[in-house]
Structure 1
Amino acid sequence: MNSLFTALIAKRIVATVSALLVIGIGCGAGIWQLGRADTKIALAASVLAKQQMPILNANTSPWTLEEASERRMIARGQYILESAIWLDNRPRPIPPAGSTNAQSGFYLMMPLRLEDRNEVLWVNRGWAPRNNENRETLPPVQTPNKVVNIEGIVFAQPGRVYELGGGNTSIDPGKPRIEQNFDLVAEGKLHGWQQSPFILREVETGIGDGLLREWTPLTIGVDRHYAYAFQWFALAFAGFLFWLLSGLRQYKRQGLVNGDQG
């Protein structure tokens, strides 16, 4: 046994340390991927539970983000069309069946002036495809010029994408506002109006306005995390197996050499 220990470890310090490093990295990364999957599942369960709670009404109370986050909410008011913001580089939430490429487009952020309240609520109305030939040619979207009732889910913000620089909050009345990201606090200061401390992501209600509201499920990507975890654990096992088999071969060769010498 001592001779086997010597052949596998004592005489192979570099190989043993390298194997331990590979095994440690593989197991650590695999556990991290499993943790990511568990986090997504727990988040989806939390959101689903909150959505089963009574629906909030934006017109009846000045809700805080803590009170309303991830809850269903209804609102009644009129859109402020001239203050719309088109968030660029947003992939279609759920690609069409059979498609392998994520189609790029916009999220349409539009303020809704709440009825009977001196308050504005920003609404993520949905997704629309981008014109690949001319970025400033906006997709045709219908916006009713009247008081509307909408329903959605409350979130802190519509999600962020990578952006070079700090963004531009200036307004050119002659051009549509196309931004990379949305800053709720900055918009409140820019317009000087009182607004809700969250956004409302509108849900699909059969309104034919040219926008898609098939939002990506929060559990999407869980299977990918499991697949990545399997790959990392397989790498760790392969590293251990290579270390063990190469050591046993070396031990066997040494035994044959010692036997020949004897």
Structure 2
Amino acid sequence: MTVNHTPARSQTASVALIRNWPVTFLSACFLPLLLALGFWQLDRAGEKAAILSVIDARLGAQPRKPADLETLQTFTPVRLMGFYTGELLYLDNRTRDGRAGYEVLQVFVSGGERWLVNRGWVPVGEDRSILPAVSWPLAAKWITGFLHPVDENGPAAAAVMEFEAGTGVEPESLRRIQALGADVLAAMNVDETGWTIRLSADSDTALRTGWQFVNSQPERHTGYAVQWFAMAAALCILWLIAATNIPAVLKKNNYKRGNGS
């Protein structure tokens, strides 16, 4: 009677392809994690792209007076006629191109309503104890910008306002703040304590704007995803080399084919 041992030999050969089970186990644990991180970054890239698409659509609309808006929404373009008062806030620890500076916020009165307008960025001077001088027109002006919310649960105004001394101006008109919250706007007696207006770059009273709409661009997340997927591919290659006999088997098969056997 003839017994066929081919299945047993085939099973033994397949098992023998893996020679390092601890490395195989670790690779099996890390590979799904690396892939999950890669797909997570792709999802983040999609979310940021969707946000930027909404922002572009809103900013592309015709500017309107805030009084004509049914509801106030972030990035809604606005246009107001009015005048600046001498009430300034310097929002500290703001950077542009790696340089330290301030964002200058100033009260703007339009139609009897007081708004806090973020005019943009100015660099820190050589003497940090002296705030940089900022000029503004005394006559009525049109300003254009977009609505931007503030943190309703921000720090109390008394805790973040630091009045400057020895600057030649009244303390109430020149202030340095470390954070901007609703309580700060309430202390400035503005009408909308949950909103500021950020000036557009083409507004003639704007300083340096360079507004950052999202904390990171979609391309950055896509780059991270590529890195995670590359690490997953590298892990697979290392597993094949370090934990299996597959390279040796392939080399042996190629050698046999080269010798015609």
**TM-score, normalised by the number of residues in structure 1:** 0.74
SS at 1:136 equivalent: coil
CA contact (8 A) 1:106 1:127 kept: yes
Larger radius of gyration: 2
Answer whether contact 1:8 1:248 (CA < 8 A) is retained: yes
Q: Which residue of 1 aligns with 2:90?
A: 86
Deviation sequence 1:59-110 (CA, Å, 0-9, x none) = x347643xx321110122222323x211122121xx4xxxxxx222111112
Of 127, 137, 140 in structure 1, the residue corresponding to residue 130 of structure 2 is 137
> CA 1:130/1:21 → structure 2, altered by over 3 Å: closer, same or farther?
farther
What does 1:231-250 align with in structure 2 at a 5 Å threshold? 231-249=227-245
> In the alignment, which residue of structure 2 is the partner of 1:150?
143
User: 1:151-205 deviations in whole A, cap 9, x for unaligned?
Assistant: 00112139xxxx9x9982445363542222210x202432455335311110022
**What do residues 217-250 of structure 1 show as CA deviations (whole Å, max 9, x unaligned)?**
6596332222221111111111111112223338
Distance verdict in 2 for CA 1:46–1:150, change over 3 Å: same
Aligned partners of 1:89, 1:219: CA distance in 2, in Å?
Answer: 16
1:212 is the counterpart of 2:208: yes
Cα drift, residue 139 of structure 1: 2.5
Determine which of 9, 15, 40 is the counterpart of 1:6: 15
In 2, are the aligned partners of 1:74 and 1:149 still within 8 Å (CA)?
yes
The correspondence of residues 67-78 of structure 1 with structure 2, limited to 5 A, is 68-78=73-83
Count of residues in correspondence between the two structures: 231
Q: Structure 2 CA distance, aligned partners of 1:32 and 1:178?
A: 40
Alpha-carbon distance in 2 for matches of 1:146, 1:14: 77
Q: Contact 1:167–1:179 at 8 Å: present in 2 too? A: no
RMSD between superposed Cα atoms in Å = 3.2
Task: Give distance in 1, aligned partners of 2:157 and 2:95.
Answer: 22
SS in 2 for 1:56: coil
Matched residue, 2:159: 168
Instruction: Measure, in 2, the Cα distance between the counterparts of 1:167 and 1:210.
Output: 28
**Distance 1:212-1:170 versus aligned 2 partners, 3 A rule:** closer
- Listed as ranges, the gaps of 5+ residues in structure 1 are 96-101, 257-262
What amino acid sits opposite 1:26 in the alignment? L
Cα contact 2:119–2:206 (8 A) shared by 1:
no
Aligned counterparts of 1:8 and 1:137: Cα–Cα separation in 2? 73
Q: Aligned to 2:194, what secondary structure does the other structure show?
A: strand
Counterpart secondary structure, 1:53: coil
* Alpha-carbon separation, structure 1, partners of 2:235 and 2:139: 66
Q: Could you say which residue in structure 1 is the equivalent of 2:35?
A: 27
Supply the distance in 1 between the matched residues of 2:244 and 2:124 (Cα, whole angstroms). 60
Return the alpha-carbon distance in structure 1 between the equivalents of residues 11 and 199 of structure 2: 69
Which residue is 1:128 aligned to? Answer: 122
How far the C-alpha of 1:127 sits from its partner, in A, is 0.9
Residue 256 of structure 2 is matched in structure 1 by: none
CA contact (8 A) 2:143 2:203 kept: no
Which AA in structure 2 matches 1:172? F
Q: Distance in 2 between matches of 1:79 and 1:8?
A: 78
Q: TM-score, normalised by structure 2?
A: 0.74
Cα drift, residue 37 of structure 1: 1.6
1:55 to 59, 63, 66: 63
Shift of 1:251: 8.9
| Cα distance in 1 between the residues matched to 2:157 and 2:116 | 21
| Alpha-carbon contact 1:63-1:196 (below 8 Å) kept | no
With over 3 angstroms needed to count, the CA separation of the structure-2 counterparts of 1:250 and 1:53, relative to structure 1, is closer
